[in-house]
């Protein structure tokens, strides 16, 4: 993978936090480059630093050392608002516990990133995205009126509605039963194929990891495996 084609690149990334027992390094010297439309699984034991890596790659947090480039821009050189603006335009998210805003309807939740990115036509595009994930008839429902799988599909619609360059997902199926989880995964990979969106998935699920084109393994904050499948 040549570095200039990478949509996401990290160099010497490290994170140290203060803890009651003194400084604690939770991510240590991670360098990697991920190309467009790649699918990447991040694996590792609990507490290995997977979520931390994801947060740094997405610019949700600032690293103690090293730099991150996203879609050609150096994330680590931007301030918080700059990173937020970049996320609004180029990044999608999915989380284990869905993270929908409880006071907004399904449609309004999907419209939110479009509105934050000041894109026109938010309502129509959000409606289309919900139809794509099979929730065209539930647009006016609030999160508490939806099942877990439905909530996660709203989250997918929200993640893809801005056509992001990269989609980050932290254990997207962790809270779902196997069949529902499979359908969610299916939808994710469809989006990857249709829109060439790069997928970065944190998971404990070996089966899901096996479907990804590349596998990163973390152990105690260090990148110990970086392997691409055929």
Ligand X SMILES: Nc1ncnc2c1ncn2[C@@H]1O[C@H](COP(=O)(O)OP(=O)(O)OP(=O)(O)O)[C@@H](O)[C@H]1O
Contact positions toward ligand X, by CB under 6 A?
A: 17, 19, 26, 44, 46-52
> Which among other proteins, ligand X, Mg ion, none contacts residue 46 (Cβ within 5 to 8 A by kind)?
ligand X
Residues in 23-62 that interact with other proteins by CB under 8 A: 51-52, 54-55, 58, 60-61
CB 151 within 8 A of CB 100: yes
In the complex, minimum distance from the CB of residue 18 to other proteins, in angstroms, rounded to a whole number: 12
Closest CA to 175 of 193, 210, 151, 207: 151
> Which among ligand X, other proteins, Mg ion, none contacts residue 47 (Cβ within 5 to 8 A by kind)?
ligand X
In the complex, minimum distance from the CB of residue 103 to other proteins, in angstroms, rounded to a whole number: 4
Q: Which of 36, 78, 84, 128 binds other proteins (CB under 8 A)?
A: 84
> Which among ligand X, other proteins, Mg ion, none contacts residue 70 (Cβ within 5 to 8 A by kind)?
none
What's CA 210's distance to the chain center, in Å? 18
Alpha-carbon distance of 14 to 26, in angstroms, equals: 8
Per DSSP, helices labelled H in the chain are: 50-57, 80-90, 106-116, 122-132, 148-160, 178-195, 206-211
Does 88 engage in binding with other proteins (CB under 8 A)?
A: yes
Does 117 engage in binding with other proteins (CB under 8 A)?
A: yes
Pairing of strands 65-70, 214-219: unpaired
Length reported for the chain:
230
In the complex, minimum distance from the CB of residue 116 to Mg ion, in angstroms, rounded to a whole number: 25
- Cα distances from 219 to residues 9, 49, 54, 172, 197, in angstroms, run 20, 8, 15, 21, 27
- Cα distances from 155 to residues 25, 91, 118, in angstroms, run 32, 13, 19
Site residues (CB under 5 A) for Mg ion?
Answer: 51
Site residues (CB under 8 A) for other proteins?
Answer: 51-52, 54-55, 58, 60-61, 80-81, 84-89, 91, 93, 95, 99, 101-104, 108, 112-113, 115-118, 158, 170
């Amino acid at each position: 993978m040549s570095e200039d084609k990478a949509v996401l690149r990290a160099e010497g990334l490290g994170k140290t936090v203060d803890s009651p027992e003194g400084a604690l390094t939770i991510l240590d010297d991670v360098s990697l480059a991920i190309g467009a439309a790649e699918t990447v699984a991040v694996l590792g034991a609990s507490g290995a630093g997977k979520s931390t890596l994801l947060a740094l790659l997405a610019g949700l947090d600032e690293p103690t050392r090293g730099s991150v480039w996203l879609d050609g821009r150096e994330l680590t050189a931007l301030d918080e608002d700059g990173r937020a603006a970049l996320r609004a335009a180029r990044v999608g998210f999915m989380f284990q516990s869905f993270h929908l805003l409880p006071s907004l309807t399904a449609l309004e939740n999907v419209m939110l990133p479009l509105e934050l990115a000041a894109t026109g036509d938010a309502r129509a595009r959000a409606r289309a995205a919900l139809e794509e994930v099979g929730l065209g008839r539930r647009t006016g429902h609030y999160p508490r009126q939806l099942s877990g799988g439905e909530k996660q599909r709203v989250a997918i619609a929200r993640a893809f509605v801005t056509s992001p360059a990269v989609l980050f997902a932290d254990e997207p199926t962790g809270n779902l039963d196997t069949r529902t989880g499979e359908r969610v995964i299916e939808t994710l990979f469809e989006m990857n194929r249709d829109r060439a969106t790069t997928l970065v998935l944190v998971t404990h699920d070996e089966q899901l990891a096996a479907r990804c084109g590349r596998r990163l393994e973390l152990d105690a904050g260090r990148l110990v495996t970086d392997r691409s499948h055929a």
